[in-house]
Chain A
Amino acid sequence: MRGFRMEITKTLKGGVTVLHLSGRVDTSAVPGLDQAVKEVLAGGARRLLLDLRDVVYISSGGLRILLATAKKLSGCDGRFGLYGLQTEVYKIFRLAGFTSIFSLFASEEDALAAWG
């Protein structure tokens, strides 16, 4: 029995695709996240926002997917951002040096406003 299994839902806000993640982005959740991101990008989305408000844990494998996504989107003039990081997740980002390379926002509204 796994606690806080990750779930992903997708919404569209204007030209921005938002993936809402919840639970633990652990080793068993990483393939699902990878697949969800690939599907979104294969569908032509170039502005991707991840909602991490309900993510309680992210593994290094999850961080790797985020980096790969940032790379793909920067290669095609896209945009990639994250919002709503819980303190424990934010701490990992900060201590690993990810806060300086990702666009982090407090809320979806902030992200959408920043991206015009």
Chain B
Amino acid sequence: MSSAVTSNASTPVPAMKSSLSLLTGPRLWAAVFVVLLAAPFIGLYPVFMMKALCFAIFACAFNLLLGYTGLLSFGHAAFMGAAAYATGWLVRSAGWPPELGLLAGLAVGAGLGLVVGLIAIRRQGIYFAMITLAMAQMVYFVCLQAPFTGGEDGLQGVPRGKLFGFIPLSNDLTMYFVVLAVFAAVFLAIVRIVHSPYGQVLKAIRENEPRAVSLGYDVDRYKLLAFVLSTAIAGLAGSLKTLVLGFATLSDVHWSLSGEVVLMTLLGGMGTFAGPVIGAFTIIGLQNFLADRVGSWITVIIGAIFVVCVIAFRRGIVGELLAWQQRRQGR
């Protein structure tokens, strides 16, 4: 099914092209999934894994927009954070069960994405990035001042509750498998979206927007739907993160998180399926490892990775591997 749609024309963006590729082959993915299933039993700290998976979902959602539609949203933290707050409040103060809390996060992400998207798609290119950044800053200030978000402290002590009323999530292992299941579902959904006829139109818009318009596509509608899909999934990631860690704070809506998700995607390889996941694990792992070792140098390191990626490493880890593999095959 996928070989027919992946063999189209060459593009300057190092996108996932070869379905035979090492990094997209189903066998490799099966192996990765087995490793993820076994992760808590081979000594990987479950809370770290869950956090990384939540950010991997977030980065995958972001990549759907940047990598496959060519839209740079510089305010994606707003959707993750708003959903994190919504779920936190609903589960803690209104007593909603976790599954409804997650759905609510998805809905908040989608709803907010619809509003921001309608405004932002009125401009193209770099303006789109600036508008999303500004709109996200507005969400940040609302979260800072609104009466139900706990201001500077955020929402603390959100219980995980019982999934469907009978699966207690307080156990990290149970929670881990729920997060993993959501991650797998999101990942497959994104693969499906990208390989669908709709995904092909998105790529066409990325490659040449005026041409897509001249072919009769209502480009704005396609872009808006991609934006809403992406923000909905970003919302889901935020909700899940709130359940995992038990809190939602201002750092979930801050612009620096919007920057981090760009970096995860760029570093891993934008326009590839595996890239954002690898990028998210790398950045979260790095932050975890360096947090108590280097203090505020972490910001400098993140900034330096940004600079290096843009100057010398625009294809990202997965993109470089794919290019290397293609060079080898071409020889």
Q: Do A and B bind each other?
A: no
